[in-house]
Amino acid sequence: MKYASPAPSAVSLADPVLAPRVEANRAATIPACLRHFEKEHCIDALKLKWKKGDKWWPHIFWDSDVAKVVEGMARELSRRPDPALAKELDRVAKLVVSAQQPDGYLNTHFTLVEPEKRWTNLHDWHELYCAGHLMEAAVAHFEATGERFFLDAMRRYADLIAKTFGRGRGQRRGYPGHEEIELALCRLAQATGERKYLDLAAYFVDERGRKPNYYVEKEGWEEWRLPYLQAHLPPREQREPVGHAVRWAYLCCGMADVAAATGDAGLLEACRAMWKNATERRMLVTGGIGTARDGEAFEREYKLDNLTAYAESCAAIGLALFSRRMHAITGEGRYLDVLERALYNGIPSGASLSGDRFFYQNPLASDADSPYARERQEWFYCSCCPTNFARFFPQAAQLCWALAPGEVRLCIPAASELRLGNGLCIQVKGRYPYDGRIAIRFVGSSVSSAASAPRNPSAFSLSLRIPGWCAKFSLAVNGRHVAAKPRDGFVSLKRAWKPGDAIVLDLAMPVQVLRANDAVAADAGRIALQRGPLVYALESVDNGPALHRLSIPAKQDFRLVPAKGLPRGTVAIAGTAFETTRPGDALYSEAAPRTRRRRFVAIPYALWQNRGPAEMQVWTREA
């Protein structure tokens, strides 16, 4: 990777949007997940308590859910010490390891329920997927605690998998139906220094989609179903995203990791092409992907319906993680534009502000009959999304910064702090994403102690991202204007930085009126409002029912107003709309419609459904 993320303990957030989400995750999301694990018997499964005749049975993907929460707990502990959290993490991690079998295998379903079916249905049964999440959890646990028992257990599991799968005599030529282990093995290789785990990740990537096809020859799948698993072609030959959106995103993360570690230009080019197609022709304006309810999958290009859009929370998280990797490899700011779009819109919309209620799907419209007009759910039978939030939000501060030799990058200008190893600390202040004025100041590593300031200044480039949505900006260093032209989405300031140096970056943040490509039939004649990175939505709480009757003139003086019933400081957009009704009760008639002028209010899309049951729409008819 060209750019690395800072250590979790070196960064912190103080912004009005991301920081509260991180704290809600710590205080509510992780404890809620653990409570549901007890209630749903996930913990009992790890204790190997299930027996034939019980009313419950360990599901094929339960281990992955527990693993994601363990990873989240470890990431939280890496951010900030917490003795109680450390104790709970130790308890759950040891419980997971206790379920490992003598040969290294670890899967509660196939250990307890169907031991004879181990590795017999790779396309559907999630064994390798669960193994991948367990490996990621083990790496995060090791990084947070320095203890090796979980990491060593997952090394034994990875060694068993390497012995089972491959091109050697007596090995299976299979690969996971639900990708995830590829990226996990790359993380395991980094944590252990063992090249063999990277080689296994590369095998799983390269074996996928080869002829004769493993799923067709060994597991009886029909050829037409292969695109759903991204198994219709070898990944390096694929140029368009197809099939299940989360699987696709995790595959691309693994491909990017292998490409970065090995210098594989072919894999990287495939990643570039698929990312470009996904984000330019198949992505919702909120950063959601996978719009088909049937299979949680990609649809054809430009088929981006609003009311029926699936846009699974996990898919938006996967796209963000993929985009983060592509920036780390290439340094190009366009990948961060998509990461930011998902981070502020399509991802947080899936979790309530309280942190304990969730959406699995994130459509762009919800009417009175939609299940989304009701409140978020506490849990799901398939609980991959709540548990994914548990491990994603602790990474938010790290997403804001990137490091390379001689360079520090501010990728997302949320109020935050980065503590550098040279004794310097970079503080970012402001109300982004509600305000575009960002104040950056260099201080000693401890603000309260002047003795902590370095004696000698440090020379490096501080690169500031200019978002793709920003058409105009100004920049000043120590009170003096600096003329700068972005390159690959960044302006770079190189000098010997010292405590007291100050930068002001002002990003123009007017209300923008967006229109979709003509090929997007669902949005023909409609507009969406965006300000900065935030996509806005009309909600019936502010505008009354029957939002479909409204139309908004694009040319008007939009006003910024406080959002009612949402966190203090939340900025809403207000303006003029027209409401059209037709007199009479007849289902069809020649009666001319009546139109009246009225006021509308739009709130950040990510905050809808936090004030009770509501209708919602992002795309509104243009007056």
**Cα–Cα dist 80/61, whole Å:** 30
Single-letter amino acid, residue 36: H
Separation between Cα atoms, residue 111 and residue 131, nearest integer Å:
13
The sign of the CA dihedral 377, 379, 383, 389 is positive
Q: What share of the chain is helix, strand, coil (3-state, %, to 5)?
A: 40, 20, 40
Q: How far apart, in whole angstroms, are the C-alpha atoms of residue 538 and residue 619? A: 9
Closest by CA to 466, choosing from 573, 347, 354, 340, is 340
Give 348-367 as a DSSP string.
GGGB-TTSS-B-S---SEE-
Cis peptide preceding 499, ω within 30 of 0: no
Check 271, 384, 425, 470 and give the catalytic one: 384
Structure tokens at 310: 């699936």
Cα 580 from Cα 314, distance rounded (Å): 38
Looking at the DSSP assignment, which residues form a beta bridge with residue 418? Answer: 11, 426
Quickly count: other Cβ atoms within 10 Å of residue 592's Cβ: 8
Length of the chain: 623
Nearest to 546 by CA among 538, 535, 558, 554: 538
Evaluate the CA torsion angle 415, 418, 424, 425 in order and state its sign.
positive
How far, CA to CA in Å, does 493 sit from each of 256, 465, 490, 503, 585? 29, 11, 10, 10, 66
Please report which residue ranges of 99-174 form alpha helices under DSSP H. Answer: 108-112, 127-145, 149-164
Looking at the DSSP bridge assignments, the partners of residue 462 are: 408, 493
Single out the residue of 301, 314, 154 nearest to residue 239, CA to CA: 301
- Pick from 36, 161, 51: nearest CA to 112: 51
HSE-CB of 326 using CA atoms within 13 angstroms: 29
Question: What angle, 0 to 180 degrees and rounded to 10, lies between the N-to-C axes of helices 181-192 and 149-164?
Answer: 120
Strand, coil or helix: 407: strand
42 in catalytic set: no
CA-to-CA separations, 156 to 103, 163, 358, 495, in angstroms, rounded = 8, 11, 35, 48
Question: Has 38 been annotated as catalytic?
Answer: no
Q: What is the DSSP letter of 27?
A: I
Distance (Å, whole) CA 201 – CA 147: 24
104-132 in b/e form (b: 16+ CB < 10 A) is bbbbbbbbbbeeeebbebbbebbbbbbbb
Of 127, 179, 207, 296, the active-site residue reads 296
Residues acting as catalytic residues:
296, 384
